[in-house]
């Protein structure tokens, strides 16, 4: 028995509808989070709801596709960062770019958190680890990244700052940039990067609310 035939490419009109559905779903998730229905997506995409169901029978299928595109976007961003003449600038640009996307799109953060335990998310994290690993290796080779820092530290740093994005978004939306500068300075071999903005007042911290579970 020979190898299975590759899947046929979608007809042009079918691919156009698929793209409209995904673009509409991404915009809805960015605006409203994951509480969207097939009907909502169909209206926003200006297609029949049956078309949405045929392409994505379960809402999770749609979310999985959005997540896969998100991973593709981040891997492409890492590849562009790898082309930077300065390895530290490349790593820094990738981390900032990733967090900028999360800060601009609350629905994206919810999507990533929702899918965290899925096999698709695990495969995505492995792809991301490989892409970030190359940025880390370049920064190590140039002597700009602390020798005891690895890919996992970059992931933890992003998680930490993403928490500031969540907590401070409605109070001080740009505070995460200062927090990230502090974190990146700690990862850099030499440190002392000027911090953007000013240190938040304790009154600002109090307005962010209690810690989750606290």
pLDDT per residue as tens digits for the range 51-92: 999 999 988 888 888 888 888 888 899 999 999 999 999 999
> Could you list the residue range(s) of the whole structural domain that residue 71 is in?
59-207
Residues 6 or more apart whose Cβ sits within 8 Å of residue 142: 86, 87, 88
Residue 34 included in any domain: yes
> According to the model, what pLDDT value does residue 93 have?
95
Looking at the fold, whether 91 and 189 belong to one and the same domain comes out as yes
Q: What's the pTM value of the predicted model, to 2 decimals?
A: 0.76
- Evaluate whether 139 touches 88 at the Cβ level (below 8 Å): yes
Looking at the fold, whether 170 and 200 belong to one and the same domain comes out as yes
Q: Count how many domains the chain has.
A: 2
Residue with tokens 């953060």: 109
Looking at the fold, whether 138 and 177 belong to one and the same domain comes out as yes
Residue 145 included in any domain: yes
């Amino acid at each position: 028995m020979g190898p299975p035939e590759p899947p046929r490419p979608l007809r042009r009109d079918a691919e156009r509808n698929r793209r409209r559905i995904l673009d509409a779903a991404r915009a809805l998730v960015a605006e409203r989070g994951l509480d969207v229905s097939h009907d909502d997506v169909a209206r926003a995409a200006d297609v029949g709801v049956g078309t949405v169901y045929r392409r994505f029978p379960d809402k999770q299928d749609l979310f999985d596709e959005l997540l896969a595109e998100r991973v593709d976007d981040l891997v492409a961003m890492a590849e562009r960062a790898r082309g930077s003449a300065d390895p530290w600038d490349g790593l820094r640009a990738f981390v900032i770019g990733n967090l900028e996307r999360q800060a601009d799109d609350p629905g994206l953060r919810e999507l990533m958190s929702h899918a965290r335990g899925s096999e698709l998310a695990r495969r995505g994290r492995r792809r991301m680890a490989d892409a970030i690993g190359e940025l880390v290796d370049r920064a190590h080779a140039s002597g700009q990244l602390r020798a005891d820092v690895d890919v996992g530290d970059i992931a933890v740093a992003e998680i930490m700052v993403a928490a500031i994005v969540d907590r401070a978004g409605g109070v001080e939306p740009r505070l995460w940039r200062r927090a990230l500068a502090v974190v990146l300075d700690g990862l850099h071999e030499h440190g002392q990067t000027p911090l953007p903005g000013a240190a938040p007042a304790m009154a600002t911290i109090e307005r962010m609310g209690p810690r989750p579970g606290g």
